[in-house]
Amino acid sequence: MARLVPYYGAMTRLRADLLLLFTAVIWGAAFVVQKWANGTMGPIAFVSARFLLSAVVLAPFALVEARRAAAPVPKADMRVALMVGACLCAGAVLQQTALVTASATNGGFLTALYVVGVPFASWAIMKEPLRPIVLAACLVCVSGAWMLTDTGGPRVWSQGDLLLVVSDIPWAFSITLVSVFQRRCPRPFYLSFVQYAVTGVGAGVLALMFETVSWDAVMASLPAILYAGIMAGAVGFTLGVIAQRHTPPSEAGLIMSLESVFAALAGAAMLNERLSFTALMGCALILAGVVMVEAGPALMRGAKAALARMR
């Protein structure tokens, strides 16, 4: 652990992108776990339990990072970290509540639509210009996500589906605010711990207000809490935070949107949520969107370099 903290400072763009891809795999499988957990305990209580566990797991890493830091976190950056936690709490509660009626497959692809909002959130917060290649890739990803709704019958939008769409707003702002924090204060473990703690406590208060919380329900959901809290939370979210220091938020959002593909595959494998041919083509389109935003700029730079040599 002592060597882990300074290591992320030497992270390359390729390694960061691979970490984001691995994060998407973990998050995709988590939709199946989250769907199962809704059958054993209240959705908001589950959010609280999983993120409190994530905070406990990350606490030692945050402490080591704090001891190695040259200075404490400025108050302005603390406020950004709290805002990230508030966005994570809103997105996680909406998402988990939505999965009461929405399928794991729909949960994956509808959540992935936050990729459309990330460039606009970045433009609003960070004043980053909207690049044509990113907008085109967003359209391709949205088209692929829509094709994933095809199940061979009529498309039916449940209340859960609508909640998933609403949850994309805080997800988009969360990704952008993570980039804001990382550029100003390279303390990923601190940020992860704060956002987990804020989400766990916030969801816990909501659960006590609107749900019946029991220890038996927590024990019945323990496998799901362990996976969501350790793998999807402590590992997945933290890897995403570290990688986002080296990948622009719009591109990071597109790579992480691949969670929809992995959620669909996991849903088909473990929950018998079969994919039609059209839905499989949707997966391919989302992959194409990611390739566009990743390979597009490199191809353009290569073409410009080739033209410069020809002159």
**pLDDT tens digit sequence for 233-265:** 888 877 877 787 777 766 776 777 777 778 777
The parent domain of residue 88 ranges over: 12-310
> Which of 102-111, 167-176, 236-245: highest mean pLDDT?
167-176
Q: Is residue 25 part of a domain?
A: yes
Q: Is residue 2 part of a domain?
A: no
pLDDT, residue 79, reads 94
What is the DSSP track for the chain?
-TTHHHHGGG--HHHHHHHHHHHHHHHHHHHHHHHHHTTTS-HHHHHHHHHHHHHHHHHHHHHHHHHH-SSPPPHHHHHHHHHHHHHHHHHHHHHHHHTTTS-HHHHHHHHTTHHHHHHHHHHHHH-----HHHHHHHHHHHHHHHHTT--SS-----HHHHHHHHHHHHHHHHHHHHHHHHHH---HHHHHHHHHHHHHHHHHHHHHHHS---HHHHHHTHHHHHIIIIIIIIIIIHHHHHHTTTS-HHHHHHHHTTHHHHHHHHHHHHS-----HHHHHHHHHHHHHHHHHHHHHHHHHHHHHHHHHH-
**pTM, entire model:** 0.80
Q: Is residue 78 part of a domain?
A: yes
CA dihedral 30, 32, 34, 35 (to 10 degrees): 160
Q: How many domains does the chain have?
A: 1
Using the predicted structure, report yes or no on whether residue 4 has a pLDDT greater than 60: no
Between 297 and 190, residue with greater pLDDT: 190
Q: Read off the pLDDT of residues 115-161 as tens digits, 9 standing for 90 and up.
A: 777 888 888 887 777 778 777 887 887 787 777 666 666 556 678 88
* Torsion-angle region of 272 (φ positive above 0: left; ψ -120 to 50: alpha; else: beta): left
Between 185 and 43, residue with greater pLDDT: 43
Q: State what percent of residues in the chain have pLDDT above 90.
A: 27
Q: Is residue 159 part of a domain?
A: yes
Q: Is residue 105 part of a domain?
A: yes
Say if CB 110 and CB 165 are below 8 A apart. Answer: yes
User: CA 38, CA 68: separation in Å to the nearest integer?
Assistant: 40
pLDDT, residue 230, reads 92
Q: Is residue 7 part of a domain?
A: no
Residue 97 exposed, middle or buried by CB count within 10 Å (0-12, 13-18, 19+): buried
User: CA 146, CA 221: separation in Å to the nearest integer?
Assistant: 32
* Torsion-angle region of 274 (φ positive above 0: left; ψ -120 to 50: alpha; else: beta): beta
Between 153 and 2, residue with greater pLDDT: 153
pLDDT classification of 5: cutoffs 50, 70, 90: very low
Q: Is residue 4 part of a domain?
A: no
Between 33 and 268, residue with greater pLDDT: 33
Q: Read off the pLDDT of residues 37-74 as tens digits, 9 standing for 90 and up.
A: 988 999 999 999 999 999 999 999 999 988 888 788 88
Q: Is residue 82 part of a domain?
A: yes
Give the gyration radius of the chain's Cα atoms: 19
Picking from 28, 58, 74, 73, the residue whose alpha carbon sits closest to that of residue 268 is 28
